[in-house]
Amino acid sequence: MKNLNRKIWTILIGIILLVGVAGTAFIYFPKDKPEMVEIYKDGTLVKSLPLDSEYTEIPVIDEEKENIVVISDEKASMKYANCPDKLCVKQGEVGRSNTPIVCLPNKVVVKLSGGAGDVDAVTK
């Protein structure tokens, strides 16, 4: 009985570690190169641009919440944000992975998506 419990726990933790490693690898090395950058504010798409645009700065301003998203060199990053933790700015650039850049306090999400065919309608 004791040995069974031991096995259960070791296997469980092993699975969690495995999923964590595999999932992380999958996310940071995806097969397809994303084409579009989508910027969401409060859950709504506010801007959608191709990833290979020329250097572009996109301000996302709403009352006191300010964010500036930058697309350059086929990468997107958060150049500036007036949130307290600035984790979004410290995150650096995303160019290949599916992980979004998120500014939680200001509710801004910058996401890369597969291609123009992904969205049916885009607000500009």
Query: Smaller CB distance to another protein: residue 54 or 84?
Result: 84
CB of 81 to another protein, least distance (A): 12
Rounded distance, CA 82 to CA 96, Å? 26
Beta strands across the sheet bearing 36-41: 44-50, 36-41, 108-113, 101-103
Query: Among 31, 32, 63, 84, which residue interacts with another protein (rule: CB under 8 A)?
Result: 84
Which of residues 1, 3, 32, 43 is near another protein by CB under 8 A? 43
6 binds another protein (CB under 8 A): yes
Binding-site residue total for another protein (CB under 8 A)?
A: 36
CB of 57 to another protein, least distance (A): 20
Helix (H) or strand (E) holding 8: helix 2-28
- From the list 9-17, 50-58, 68-76, 114-122, the region that binds another protein by CB under 8 A is 9-17
Cβ–Cβ under 8 Å, residues 41 and 81: no
Give the SS3 label for residue 114.
coil
Rg (CA), the chain: 19
Contact footprint for another protein (CB under 8 A): 5-6, 9-10, 12-13, 16-17, 19-24, 26-27, 40, 42-44, 84-85, 87-88, 90-92, 98-100, 102, 104-105, 107, 109, 111
